[in-house]
Amino acid sequence: MDGTARALPGPLIALVGNPNCGKTALFNLLTGSRQKVANYAGVTVERKEGSLLTPSGHKVRILDLPGAYSLDPMTPDEQVTADVLLGRRAGETQPDFVVCVTDATNLRQNLRLVLSLKRLGLPMIVALNMSDIARRKGLVIDAERMATELGVPVVETVGIKSGGVGSLVRMLDRVAPAGRGPQRVWQSPTAADIEHDHDEVRRILGAIGGDRTEGTTRSDRIDAVVLHPVIGPLILAVVLFLVFQAVFAWAQGPMDAIKAGVDALGGWLGGFMPESLLRGLLIDGVLAGVGSVLVFLPQIVILFFFILVLEDSGYLPRAAFLLDRVMGSVGLSGRAFIPLLSSFACAIPGIMATRTIQDPKDRLATIMIAPLMTCSARLPVFALIISAFIPQRSLWGGVQLQGLVLFALYIIGVLSAMAVAFVLKRRGAGAGFQALMLELPTYHWPNLRGLAIGLWQRIEIFLTRVGTIILALMVILWALSSWPGPPPGATGPSIQYSIAGHLGAALAVLFAPIGFNWQISIALVPGLAAREVAVGALGTVYALSAAGEHVSDALTPLIAHSWSLPTALSLLAWYVFAPQCLSTLATVKRETNSWRYPLIMAAYMFALAYGASFITYRIALLF
């Protein structure tokens, strides 16, 4: 099961720290690529564990706990951290030892957590992280004095430099064989405790020379521009445009290459394999299935590259800050913007990108509406129908009618997403008091090592988890569309005799009120694999001999001739909403850790699609 601690040998060391203290960089440095990323059981909080071999050959396990400001939790992340440390999280063993990571440039805030952890009573080391930056800023912190004042060992670390954890590793070496100390009973801190801790922090800072609230820092100067009422939004627009452009355009080349590669492999295999069920399974089932998953990889890599850079540098929280109110008007978090924007390319990377939204309700709402952003896979379908039914006509000012219809379809998607988000929010918790309290961390240059590890983890999650579910679904779909084969002497296309064909024929009854004929209904079944597959499937149903790119060209006059305009408009409306993409649903299942949300998503989108098509068809019939 996800997230259950495996009983590996060696003591368990927990890394604890405030958000943005450089804890993850330190973790990456300590464990390198020996990391396991999963979720904590029952929640979507990421669980990262790694291992480290100390110089004297002791193996220790290192758990990177989610960032927390306090042991009195306010977010799911903090809840996990507090529960694990207190030994009351099911499936997790209480750590034997705690390394509290502090940002040497922000001790005023970070030391409070150290004091809370001390009260907890687990053996502890304090890592004075980012000590290089502190020194560069002229902050001289007396680590030995700090250790005396705190009563726990203190080591200086530099999380972004290899070798920056040497002293920490040597110290871990000494504690590795030691057992767990005596336990104390934990009590939540009172207001008096908080004030007392703060006085204590001030006292310690005074003693070690770390108390300096700087006047204007480099971050302040950057913020003066980035948060400026006029320049700030302009910068944001440029950044968002760049991300959108990258996901859409830069990914196109590698995506085409992957597609061509998979096609070539299929052609090569088909060249020497005799016509058989096995050949069909390999080429049309497995290979096409793998190809349809792999093709998203460039978009995911590019999108996460940008997200990791923006997050690591400190810009993403600022973008969320600027957009908080705008997105908040429909009940979404400012952080929902990038996932939604990338969903215009494909909902899969978009949904994976919702991990940057901390509030679980906001994250869920964003996941639920992401597929309403018109993804690039709908384009071939829209293009086919528009070119067949919408006359090529110039309106006022040279605006093309066809382009206008396409634009309208995008807008309808966005508007309905806003409406759905609004409804979801209304149904959710009592409106009003939703905490923000978002830290805008000091700007940093992104760390290449962390970037590489982060990207690799996303790729791995995508390929292993999503890949397996999607691949299985693709193979099932292939089997449905090709089995049983046509009886001898059959005249229609072979798909018509398969299970998918019978399913389509049954669906035709359901779809008759919205104007779909049996050919469309059958094409919708394999179209579940990916929306654009429906175009190819229509070609198959209409028994076209043309293949690949030319299907659409050959189909255009055919459907223009055989469908009525209301049917075509109804199908357009259908594709704005329809939950046609199994890969998206599989991703939602993986990201939410349950079947509940993909099922709800499929149901609500199906209802919207059916309703929209019904209204469109009935109104169009009147004219």
Partner 1 sequence: MEQSSEHIGLADLPNGTLARVISVRPPDAAAPPEIARRLAELGFLPGELVRIVGRGLLSREPIAVRVGTGTFALRLFEAACIRVRPETTRLP
Q: Specify the amino acid at residue 440.
A: L
By CB under 8 A, tell whether 322 contacts partner 1.
Answer: yes
By CB under 8 A, tell whether 560 contacts partner 1.
Answer: no
| Binding span for partner 1 by CB under 8 A among 315-323, 346-354, 375-383, 409-417 | 315-323
* Total Cβ atoms within 10 A of residue 612: 21
Is residue 240 within 8 A of residue 315, CB to CB? The reply is: no
* Total Cβ atoms within 10 A of residue 446: 18
Query: Quick one: which of 187, 216, 276, 491 contacts partner 1 (CB under 8 A)?
Result: 216
By CB under 8 A, tell whether 195 contacts partner 1.
Answer: yes
By CB under 8 A, tell whether 228 contacts partner 1.
Answer: yes
By CB under 8 A, tell whether 70 contacts partner 1.
Answer: yes
By CB under 8 A, tell whether 359 contacts partner 1.
Answer: no
Gap between the Cα atoms of 297 and 257, Å rounded: 12
- Angle, to 10 degrees, between the axis of helix 297-313 and the axis of helix 448-461? 140
CB of 101 to partner 1, least distance (A): 16
DSSP assignment string, 233-296:
HHHHHHHHHHHHHIIIIITHHHHHHHHHHHHHHHHHHHHHS-SSHHHHIIIIIIIHHHHHHHTT
Q: How far is CA 440 from CA 115, 219, 306, 311, 319, in A?
A: 23, 10, 18, 11, 10
CB of 255 to partner 1, least distance (A): 34
| Binding span for partner 1 by CB under 8 A among 319-327, 350-358, 372-380, 553-561 | 319-327
Cis peptide before 484 (omega within 30 of 0): yes
Is residue 381 within 8 A of residue 532, CB to CB? The reply is: yes
By CB under 8 A, tell whether 565 contacts partner 1.
Answer: no
Query: Quick one: which of 36, 58, 108, 444 contacts partner 1 (CB under 8 A)?
Result: 108
Q: Reduced to 3 states, what is the DSSP secondary structure of residue 130?
A: coil
By CB under 8 A, tell whether 142 contacts partner 1.
Answer: no
Instruction: Please identify, using beta-carbon distances, which residue of 182 and 432 lies nearer to partner 1.
Output: 432
CB of 85 to partner 1, least distance (A): 16
Query: Quick one: which of 326, 408, 448, 615 contacts partner 1 (CB under 8 A)?
Result: 326
Is residue 207 within 8 A of residue 148, CB to CB? The reply is: no
By CB under 8 A, tell whether 192 contacts partner 1.
Answer: no
By CB under 8 A, tell whether 1 contacts partner 1.
Answer: no
Query: Quick one: which of 27, 69, 344, 617 contacts partner 1 (CB under 8 A)?
Result: 69
**Buried/exposed code over 209-234 (b: 16+ C-beta within 10 A; e: otherwise):** ebeeeeeeeebeebbeebbeeeebee
By CB under 8 A, tell whether 232 contacts partner 1.
Answer: yes
Query: Quick one: which of 59, 72, 93, 411 contacts partner 1 (CB under 8 A)?
Result: 72
Query: Quick one: which of 1, 7, 431, 437 contacts partner 1 (CB under 8 A)?
Result: 437
Closest CA to 292 of 578, 553, 535, 581: 581
Which residues in this chain contact partner 1 in the complex, by CB under 8 A?
A: 69-70, 72, 74, 105-109, 112, 191, 194-195, 198, 213-216, 219-220, 223-224, 227-229, 232-233, 317, 320-326, 432-441
